[in-house]
Amino acid sequence: MKLSKQQGYESDFTKFLKDLKEKNPDIERKQREGRAIWWDRPPLDLDSRRRLKESSVKQQAYVYQTKV
């Protein structure tokens, strides 16, 4: 048996999301703001990349082993 959109089936998850968006109409705006903070960053320029690479400290192969 095929379920189509004409039958009007909605999963519980779809109903939950619709209800959540009705109760919190600004939730999508907050998601976009959060994404902009953590993910949508401008690329680093070449000088910043060089300084970042030069300032990093090389880590030993097995970090939990102490040197004797």
- What amino acid occupies position 42? P
Question: What is the number of domains present in the chain?
Answer: 1
> Tens digits of per-residue pLDDT, 13-60?
999 999 999 999 999 999 999 998 888 888 888 998 899 889 988 877
- Residue 25's Cβ-side half-sphere holds a number of Cα atoms within 13 Å equal to 0
Chain-centroid distance of CA 32 in Å reads: 10
In the structure encoding, which two tokens stand for residue 67, read together?
């040197």
Q: Report yes or no on 63 lying in a domain.
A: no
Residue 17 lies in a domain: yes
Domain around 22: 9-55
The contacts of residue 24 (CB under 8 Å, 6+ apart) are none
At 68, is the secondary structure helix, strand, or coil?
coil
Which pLDDT score is estimated for 41?
A: 80
Q: Examine residue 35 and state whether it is found in any structural domain, yes or no.
A: yes
**Better-scored residue on pLDDT, 14 or 68:** 14
Say if 3 falls within a structural domain.
no
pLDDT of residue 57: 85
Q: Is residue 2 part of a domain?
A: no
Is residue 1 assigned to a domain?
A: no
Model confidence at 3: pLDDT above 60: no
Decide if pLDDT at 65 tops 80.
no
With respect to residue 67, please indicate whether it lies within any of the assigned structural domains: no
Between 66 and 18, the more confident residue is 18
Alpha carbon distance 31, 21 (integer Å): 12
Structure tokens of 60? 């030993």
